[in-house]
């Protein structure tokens, strides 16, 4: 259960340690955001995250939320996804994995790495190397 109480218990300790380990000063707002996102793997938009924080009673401004999400993403604590042009999605699972994207509902679902095998990949252009692979499998209703 993700309530305000969660913040003061077990997960909060882990979050503080994780933030410190990343060189991020664990302020109250950052702990609330980290606690929300790192409690379980999830895909959320900034607006959804803000709504959850407010619902929990957290006092976090939009500016701080965006600052924090960008900071977390830069430090590898979360991952920003580009699945639609409208807005950014933040994935709290930073382990390698792929996504299903349901075109009707917009829902994102994880596809674990073992479910996909690349038996051939192109060589990266000279002077470059592969930094990551984003795979989005778009789903429509079966007719």
Give the footprint of a second copy on this chain (CB under 8 A).
80, 82-85, 87-88, 100, 102-103, 109, 111, 115-122, 124-125, 127-143
Q: Does position 26 bind DNA by CB under 7 A? A: yes
Give the 3-state secondary structure of residue 80.
strand
For a second copy, the closer CB: 12 or 83: 83
Measured between alpha carbons, how far is 139 from 105 in angstroms, rounded to an integer?
10
Q: Are strands 79-81 and 89-91 parallel, antiparallel or unpaired?
A: antiparallel
Measured between alpha carbons, how far is 49 from 87 in angstroms, rounded to an integer?
13
> Using CB under 7 A, which of 1, 86, 104, 143 touches DNA?
86
State the residue for tokens 């999400």.
Answer: 69
Note the residues at the interface with DNA (CB under 7 A): 24-30, 45-47, 59-64, 66-68, 70, 85-88
């Amino acid at each position: 259960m993700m309530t305000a109480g969660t913040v003061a218990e077990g997960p909060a300790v882990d979050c503080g340690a994780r933030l410190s380990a990343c060189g991020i000063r664990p302020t109250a707002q950052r702990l609330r955001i980290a606690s929300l996102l790192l409690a379980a793997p999830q895909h959320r938009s900034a607006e959804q995250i803000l709504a959850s924080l407010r619902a929990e009673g957290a006092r976090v401004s939009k500016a701080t939320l965006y600052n924090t999400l960008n900071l977390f993403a830069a430090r590898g604590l979360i991952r920003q996804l580009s699945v639609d042009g409208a807005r950014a999605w933040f994935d709290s699972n930073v382990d390698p994995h792929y996504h299903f994207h349901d075109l009707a509902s917009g829902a994102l679902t994880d596809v674990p790495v073992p479910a996909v095998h690349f038996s051939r990949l192109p060589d990266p252009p000279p002077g470059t190397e592969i930094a990551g692979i984003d795979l989005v499998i778009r789903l429509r209703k079966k007719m």
